[in-house]
Amino acid sequence: QQQVKQSPQSLIVQKGGISIINCAYENTAFDYFPWYQQFPGKGPALLIAIRPDVSEKKEGRFTISFNKSAKQFSLHIMDSQPGDSATYFCAARTGYKLSFGAGTTVTVRA
């Protein structure tokens, strides 16, 4: 049973559009929430991360929104580009263990 529930499973967005991926959790012991980006044939790579005392974090075109009371967080990819086509995983940490969502495959159409 996954501790972090991620949706949607896949999405298609036009170049320049906004991609939104949502994650939810129940375990209040989670204290760090990273997002990973994975290209085919490669290992996941850390994209951006947030701590629960922050409601939003932005790095370039990528923004995490965090709602501690709802136990939800989301990744927004602004001005989506074909190079953003990848699988995105949300994760949550307790100690040094990460629990991952099931992943969202994002396809950006030119």
Binding site residues, other proteins, CB under 8 A? 2, 4, 6, 9, 32, 34, 36, 41-46, 49, 89, 91, 93, 96-103
- For other proteins, which is the closer residue by CB, 19 or 88? 88
Looking at the Cβ atoms of 17 and 100, the one nearer to other proteins is: 100
Give the shortest CB-73-to-other proteins separation in angstroms: 15
Q: What is the 3-state secondary structure (H, E, C) of the chain?
A: CCCEEEECCEEEEECCCCEEEEEEECCCCCCEEEEEEECCCCCCEEEEEECCCCCEEEECCEEEEEECCCCEEEEEECCCCHHHCEEEEEEEEECCEEEECCCEEEEEEC
Residue 106: CB minimum distance to other proteins, A: 15
